Amino acid sequence: MRYRQLGNSDLQVSVLGLGTMTWGHQNSESDAHQQIELALAEGINFIDTAEMYPTPTQAETWRTTERYIGSWLANSGRRGDVVLASKIAGPARDPAGQNHIRDGLSRHDRRNIVEALDGSLKRLHTDYLDLYQLHWPDRKTNFFGQREYPYQDDAESVVIEETLTVLAEQVKAGKVRHIGVSNETPWGVAEFLKHSERLGLPRIVSVQNPYSLLNRLYEGGLSEFSHREGVGLLAYSPLAFGALTGKYLGGARPEGSRLSSVYRTFNRYDSASAQEAIAGYVQIARQHNLSAAQLALAYVIDKPFVASALTGQTSLAQLRDNLGALDVTLSDEVRAQVQAIHQRIPNPAP
């Protein structure tokens, strides 16, 4: 395993991190514990979760993922072996489907942050989080696959200065070691850094955004913040919900897969351009005797602005295959072939 400093923090995180958002829908508590055990045995030390997991979030299951991790921590006594991160949900984007999280009013203000953090700590059976993140912005902007900026006013959004002040109080209280953002834009990252410097408050050390062979938008503006400002990328969906393994090509929906069950209507990767790009990347992997997952992950963790790539898997076999990416060194030929597809079909699935 290789480790990298997370932004300008004192945290060293494994270049592959353990994503957990299926635990509670596709994975049982026993499955979750087995994944943690294998991950730690192979050197993974970073576990990422969120109060709303598993996704899609539901009133009956939200907070289950944290409970699964918490029961493992309580039983194992290995809190010190794990870099643990969680997230507070942002305001409901779909009120009809998210009212179960603080009545759909989960703003990034004092009441919500304190309530959400205390709940996560209790479920996780820990006194502190190594990293606490804002799951998505408390304002109208483009994230979660929205290409166009909405250009709407924010009558009710909580200002970043207030959010930072409350998070600083949690750091001072010892409940949180470092703070980060997720699904953020270059403007948002710049604002957080500006207010931290102006007010002498803790800086964000990470941004958790999508990054994969199908979505390289992070390179266009945010990567420079990683380079020059010490804000590391925690890359989520590096396998694009498993689409980059090739298992969904031609409309296939293998039994037990994400797109065959809880994500039946999720179609970000079903466009003709995305399917063409995926087929091309799968062919490159086969040509060089790699699994498609290993090629996709090796490409992501090769980037200097990536602190950790968060893999999500439903089986131990998938986790073992993902770990094989650590042994892959991308040749100049592979890089050129990947770039040729990207130039022809850039970012088909943001």
Residues labelled catalytic: 53
DSSP class of residue 26 equals T
Q: Counting runs of H as helices and runs of E as strands, what totals does the chain give? A: 11, 10
Q: 47: which strand partners?
A: 18, 84
Q: How far apart are CA 120 and CA 124, in angstroms?
A: 6
Strand 3-5 and strand 12-14: pairing? antiparallel
Q: Which long-range contacts (CB under 8 A, 24 or more apart) does 168-172 make?
A: 168/201, 168/202, 170/113, 170/114, 170/117, 170/132, 171/202
Q: 133: which strand partners?
A: 87, 180
Q: How far apart are CA 49 and CA 12, in angstroms?
A: 18
Q: How far apart are CA 109 and CA 13, in angstroms?
A: 29
Residue closest to 49 by CA, chosen among 103, 114, 108, 130 = 130
- Residue 87's φ and ψ, nearest 5 degrees, are -145, 150
Q: Is residue 152 a contact partner of residue 199, using CB atoms and an 8 Å limit?
A: no
Rg (CA), the chain: 19
Residue closest to 236 by CA, chosen among 336, 136, 117 = 136
Q: How far apart are CA 185 and CA 147, in angstroms?
A: 12
Q: 180: which strand partners?
A: 133, 206
